[in-house]
Chains A and B, each alone.
Chain A
Amino acid sequence: MADVKKIATRESYGNALAECGADFPNLVVLDADLAGATKTGVFQKAFPDRHIDCGIAECNMTGIAAGLATCGKVPFISSFAMFAAGRNFEQVRNSIGYPRLNVKIGATHAGITVGEDGATHQCNEDVALMRTIPGMTVIVPSDDVEAKAAVRAAIEMEGPVYLRFGRAAVPVINDKPDYKFEIGKGVLLREGTDVTIVASGITVSSALDAAEMLAADGISAEVINIHTIKPLDEELVLASAKKTGKVVTAEEHTVIGGLGSAVCDCLSEKHPTPVLRIGMQDVFGESGSANALVEKYGLDGKGIYEKVKTFVK
């Protein structure tokens, strides 16, 4: 994969905000002393009057965004996922979710690919938290192309949206002329007949790698990119589950409450199917390089390949 272009989706986030700034005059961006890391600094440079640094006070930032939204602004609040969703959960629920305000939450540094900072900053619970809030749309883009498209789509839709971005550079896999992003619509990336791998975020490219390895062993894997975890593209998941009869989910997130749970919620009610959930197995992360952590916790192509192989036996 050495020749594949790699970009961190937090970079895509900052660039997309800056690109959308001129098209959407009501777009405002709030940060909590992390503009350099979340990349909202790119927007700040282009639109200094519409970038509000709230200091290290995420809960207040969330309330300010709510107030701005009642006055017609389209605010993005930005911080690390740990704080944007974790520290802020109740503020997001009560000040944004309950009044159904048009606030977007741009959460960067999600999951274990935060790397060296370790477990305190590696949020593997944010999707679970955000998914429980009524009316909240939850998007986990897989690469640069998808992340930028998701930011624009979030601005264009009315209502709260949680967007999850990563710190580490990830392969660009969607730079195809026919690529189309639609909130709530999953993408069938590879057709297969023996097993379905449903992935989101960084595990999408891992799943594609795994499918290649499985093919060499004579196992035909279907790969689905679920960039929108809520609302889930149930139609696509059900159709694939009916076809292959076995479903594996892969996510850089705890298997409790995230993509794996969302898929299980759907399948167990509508078409019970054996499922294997790959992800953080109810554990905290730890310090290390992003690559080393992805390998250790089995979220790379090889890790997914090995687990799927055992599962389909």
Chain B
Amino acid sequence: MNKSELQKTANEVRKGIVTAVHGAKAGHPGGSLSAADIFTYLYFEEMNIDPKDPKKADRDRFVLSKGHTAPGLYSVLANRGYFPVEDLPTLRHLGSYLQGHPCMQETPGVDMSSGSLGQGISAAVGMALAAKMDGKDYRTYTLLGDGEIQEGQVWEASMFAGHRKLDNLVVIVDNNGLQIDGKIDDVCSPYPIDKKFEAFNFHVINIDGNDFDQIDAAFKEAKATKGQPTAIICKTVKGKGVSFMENNAGWHGKAPNDDEYATAMADLAKIGEELGGAN
């Protein structure tokens, strides 16, 4: 996909996020929207996957370590063709295959159940290790929140990945700067994030995570990096694309009401028009 196509697709993914969370009357829009460009790049450009064969043996793997942003993952999977986009509003409903947090037993395309922060990265490390042990060339990607990296297990996993030189692993940090209780540097600052991963023997790339040129360059650089895992620290805007949600911690885990939903979809429709209409 070219940049314009990626931007338009990401905008559709954002519409799916807002629609899913509105349908659920609960969920986490802020961190789903901030990472929508990363989700889109991974599933439409970067990863070797097949929506028709979600469990293909040597596919690339993705673990959503910040599992509460399941609406982002579900929306990108639906838009990529794993299941109907029309099912997104069933999110969090009784009987839905779209559980509040990712469940690998329920949802096509979900490689690992997650939601308890700090655990997904370890599973991703295990997948990358399995590839190394079996001499396979599939790659593993995992997305973490910047609040999530306050969990100690993240650094246990990073120490192991650096020690084992897992160059088939890419750790992505969605640095939107906000967690439930406020700004991450007010609550319990994880900064400097890049220096921490460097200290654990990662190749570190700092980018604007809402800019496809920078995202594209970073993932290409990660692929070319040998002998150490890569961490891509993505500066992003929480709630990106929805005017009243942007940079507002209050929209970390809250659903829009009907009026707010209409405003959000109008915001995204306007962005879509500015991008030149549908793909």
Interface residues of chain A, those whose CB is within 8 Å of chain B, are 28, 49-50, 52, 54-55, 57, 59-60, 62-73, 75, 90-91, 94-95, 98-100
Identify the stretch in B128-136, B227-235, B254-262, B271-279 within 8 Å (CB) of chain A at 4 or more residues: B128-136
Known: A57-B160, A99-B103. A63 touches B127 (CB 8 A): no
When each residue 101-135 of chain B gets 1 if its CB lies under 8 Å from chain A and 0 otherwise, what string results? 00111000001110110111111111111110110
* A64 proximity list for chain B (CB < 8 A): 122-123, 125-126, 129, 157, 160
Bound Cα distance A90, B152 (Å): 14
Q: In this assembly, does B156 line the interface, its C-beta being within 8 Å of a C-beta of chain A? A: yes
**CB proximity of B44 to chain A, nearest CB, Å:** 23
Q: Is the CB of B157 within 8 A of A60?
A: yes
Tell which of A50, A66, A73, A90 has the most Cβ of chain B within 10 Å. Answer: A66
The one of A50, A60, A66, A73 in contact with B153, judged by C-beta atoms closer than 8 angstroms, is: A60
The one of B115, B121, B133, B156 in contact with A49, judged by C-beta atoms closer than 8 angstroms, is: B133
In the complex, residue of chain A having the shortest beta-carbon distance to the beta carbon of B138: A71
Bound Cα distance A69, B61 (Å): 13
Q: In this assembly, does B159 line the interface, its C-beta being within 8 Å of a C-beta of chain A? A: yes
Total residue contacts A-B, CB cutoff 8 A:
103
Known: A66-B123, A91-B119, A99-B103. A60 touches B130 (CB 8 A): no
* B153 proximity list for chain A (CB < 8 A): 57, 59-60, 63, 91
In the complex, residue of chain A having the shortest beta-carbon distance to the beta carbon of B123: A67
The one of A49, A62, A99, A100 in contact with B122, judged by C-beta atoms closer than 8 angstroms, is: A62
* B116 proximity list for chain A (CB < 8 A): 90-91, 94-95
* B104 proximity list for chain A (CB < 8 A): 70, 99
The A interface, classified by DSSP as helix, strand, loop or mixed, is: helix
**CB proximity of B120 to chain A, nearest CB, Å:** 8
Bound Cα distance A273, B134 (Å): 54
* B127 proximity list for chain A (CB < 8 A): 67-68, 70-71
* A67 proximity list for chain B (CB < 8 A): 63, 112, 122-130, 140
* B61 proximity list for chain A (CB < 8 A): 70
Bound Cα distance A54, B125 (Å): 11
Q: Can you show 12 pairs from A to B with CB atoms below 8 A apart?
A: A55-B160, A59-B119, A63-B120, A63-B126, A66-B126, A70-B111, A73-B133, A91-B116, A91-B119, A94-B113, A94-B115, A95-B113
- What are the 9 A-B residue pairs with the smallest beta carbon separation, nearest first? A67-B126, A63-B122, A71-B130, A60-B156, A57-B156, A64-B126, A67-B123, A99-B113, A67-B127
In the complex, residue of chain A having the shortest beta-carbon distance to the beta carbon of B63: A67
In the complex, residue of chain A having the shortest beta-carbon distance to the beta carbon of B151: A59
**CB proximity of A27 to chain B, nearest CB, Å:** 12
**CB proximity of A38 to chain B, nearest CB, Å:** 18
* B126 proximity list for chain A (CB < 8 A): 63-71, 75
Tell which of B112, B118, B130 has the most Cβ of chain A within 10 Å. Answer: B130
When each residue 7-37 of chain B gets 1 if its CB lies under 8 Å from chain A and 0 otherwise, what string results? 0000000000000000000000000000000
For window 202-256 of B, CB contacts with A under 8 Å fall at none
